[in-house]
A and B are shown apart, each in its own frame.
Chain A
């Protein structure tokens, strides 16, 4: 027993990821934790999206199941699991079965390299960002297989649209990512890196988030990525593969029950995955805001208290709603439930104030908070933008984002190597031209 405690304690003070330490047990624990956290995040996103969209449209959204509809996602999950699983006649049964699993696998596997903190990643790969892009590009295969295997017109059109769209936007996305990777090497001497943890550490060492580096180059790359990632995850306003007003539900029209819920799960975890790429590359990953301007022990303490304070704020919101609940006896259980939820949130917040927990948790908190910002943006886009037409989509991808990305890449390379370019290209060329003119005249 004592050995076990010592083992766990030795790990808690470790400064490496379980993958780097080669520790299978802790890697397994981390995988389970990430999987659990993702599932909770998807459930929360489901509820938040419906609530936020509803409030944007001046509706209430789900209110019946649980206080303020808090239990609605659970009710939905139970409904989906109990639904009949239908396979259309003359569908290609094997491919129809495999397709959702491929999409889910691709969406979840990328989280192996997502750095929630300097030690809070399952593992760190030399090719981290390449791995994320590669594996998430496999999900389009699942979409295409699903659409084709359904043996139905709408899914097939949805699949064709999605494959064209995802292949086009992957190019622009890749260019933006490359220009961020270029920024990891500080001038000619430093070596660049593709590793996700390495990219964040490069931002820490250079003392600047890459969105602000070489202003406005970093911002342009970030904007290109932010547009491409919405198209890549098939979300509004680029949700043509599943445009419900044109194709009923696009590539997953024929899916029902459990298999449909797999597509749902994959969509949301893919959204979280691309958001965490954006956060890692441009927004400083797990680093807290203003690491340079607001330094010193006092500010460190203030920022380390933010996670706990956030949970306490949520708890306070819960208690406020509890007080505002109708006083009718029928609402008694809901009121008690909401108060209980607030108590749980407050307890989590208080635990996060403990110095030991605070130190370990704050990097995870900042990373998740930035990703949550992107999740809100996703909902906001869906609430406010009309859907693009397919030719407009292609035009934006190939005629706007791609040339901008290419130009950006070249300019970033020049700025990055400016001392060399000046010393080895421009000055010799200038001298050569002067020499030539002198000989002629």
Chain B
């Protein structure tokens, strides 16, 4: 049996990278630097998925976010004049909402982690463990199986949302269709 790779050390390493990357995203003045910091965060997140023995999700995370969406982000950012954004003062008009959201999340996390009066946390006892070698197949079964395809409807609805977004973009971009 191989020694487990999912040690706490790697969790703290990846979580640390994610936090540093996340802070860099909002503090950098140069938008390109922010985007690159975001890519680092997303890659570290893919590492976290790997630690959860979900290689398929990690692979999709890399292809879609780091390889696809962030490239389009960079593409758009490069069309903006960087000189002007660097001269302007950074501002934040939503700090009240931001603090409220962060505080709510903090309370939620504390609530989840503290033990209840029955003596256990809100987490389910034990954890689901799929074999790493079956991850892709189990996801396919959950999505598409004729008898166990529980999430088929949610999956199709999500793709419909994306289709709506695509059509919206085409309508907004094209004056005459």
Chain A residue with the shortest CB-CB distance to B39: A141
Cβ–Cβ < 8 Å partners of B71 in chain A: 140-141, 144, 163, 166-167
Given contacts A127-B136, A134-B67, A141-B39, contact A159 B78 (CB under 8 A): yes
Minimum CB–CB distance for B136 against chain A, Å: 6
A166 nearest in chain B by CB position: B71
Which residues in A have their C-beta under 8 angstroms from that of B1?
Answer: 22
Asked whether B62 lies within 8 Å of A141 as measured between CB atoms, the reply is: no
Given A126-B135, A140-B67, A191-B137, residue A156 in contact with residue B59 (CB < 8 A) = no
Q: Which residues 3-61 of B have a CB within 8 angstroms of A?
A: 3, 30, 32-33, 36, 39, 55-56, 58-60
Closest Cβ of chain A to B99, distance in Å, is 32
Q: Judge whether A126 and B133 touch: CB under 8 Å.
A: yes
Is A126 a contact of B56 with CB atoms below 8 Å?
Answer: yes
Interchain CB contact under 8 A, B63 and A167: no
Least CB distance, B132 to chain A, in whole angstroms: 6
Contact partner of A167 (CB less than 8 A), chosen from B33, B39, B56, B72, is B72
Q: Give the shortest distance, in Å, between A43 (CB) and chain B (any CB).
A: 29
Give complex CA distance A148, B2 in Å. 43
Interface presence of B70 (CB below 8 A): yes
Measured between beta carbons, the chain A residues less than 8 angstroms from B56 are 126-127, 130, 194
Q: How far is the CA of A253 from the CA of B70 in the complex (A)?
A: 24
Beta-carbon contact of B78 and A125 below 8 Å? no
Instruction: Indicate if the CB atoms of A127 and B55 lie closer than 8 Å.
Output: yes
- The answer on a CB contact under 8 Å between B135 and A167 is no
Asked if residues B63 and A134 are in contact (CB atoms below 8 Å), the reply is yes
Closest B residue to A145 using CB positions:
B36
A133 within 8 A of B: yes
Binary contact readout B102-140 vs A (1 if CB under 8 angstroms, 0 otherwise): 000000000000000000000000000000111111000
**Do B32 and A138 touch (CB < 8 A)?**
no
Residues B75 and A160 in contact, CB atoms below 8 Å apart:
yes
Residues of B within 8 A of A140 (CB): 67, 71
Let me know if B74 is at the binding interface, CB within 8 A. yes
Which of A133, A156, A192 is in CB contact (< 8 Å) with B63? Answer: A133
Are A144 and B74 in touch, CB under 8 angstroms?
A: yes
Q: What is the number of residues of chain A that contact chain B, defined by CB distance less than 8 Å?
A: 29
Contact A194 B66 (CB under 8 A): no
Listed residue (B36, B59, B137) with the most chain A CB atoms within 10 angstroms of its CB: B59
Residues of B within 8 A of A95 (CB): 32-33, 36
Give min CB distance, A114 to chain B, whole Å. Answer: 16
> A146-194: which have CB < 8 Å to B?
148, 156, 159-160, 163-164, 166-167, 170, 191-192, 194
Q: Does A163 contact B67, Cβ atoms closer than 8 Å?
A: no
Q: Which of A126, A167, A170 has the most CB of B within 10 A?
A: A126
Residues of A363-420 whose CB lies within 8 A of B = none
Given the interface pairs A126-B135, A144-B71, A191-B137, the reply to whether A134 lies near B62 with Cβ below 8 Å is yes
Q: Give the CA-CA distance A135 to B30 in the complex, in Å.
A: 26
Smallest CB separation, A155 vs chain B (Å): 11
Q: How far is the CB of A439 from chain B (nearest CB, A)?
A: 29
Minimum CB–CB distance from B159 to chain A (whole Å) comes to 14
Chain B residues contacting A160 (CB-CB under 8 Å) are 75, 78
Question: Contacts A130-B59, A133-B63, A167-B68 given: A148-B136 contact, CB under 8 Å?
Answer: no
**Which A residues lie within 8 Å of B58 (CB)?**
127
Chain A 252-295 interface mask (CB, 8 Å, partner B; 1/0): 00000000000000000000000000000000000000000000
Could you show 23 A-B contacts with beta carbons less than 8 Å apart?
A22-B1, A95-B32, A125-B55, A126-B134, A126-B135, A126-B136, A130-B59, A134-B60, A134-B63, A137-B66, A137-B67, A138-B62, A138-B67, A141-B67, A141-B70, A141-B74, A144-B75, A148-B32, A148-B78, A163-B71, A167-B71, A167-B72, A191-B137
- Interface, chain A (partner B; CB < 8 A): 22, 92, 95, 125-127, 130-131, 133-135, 137-138, 140-141, 144-145, 148, 156, 159-160, 163-164, 166-167, 170, 191-192, 194
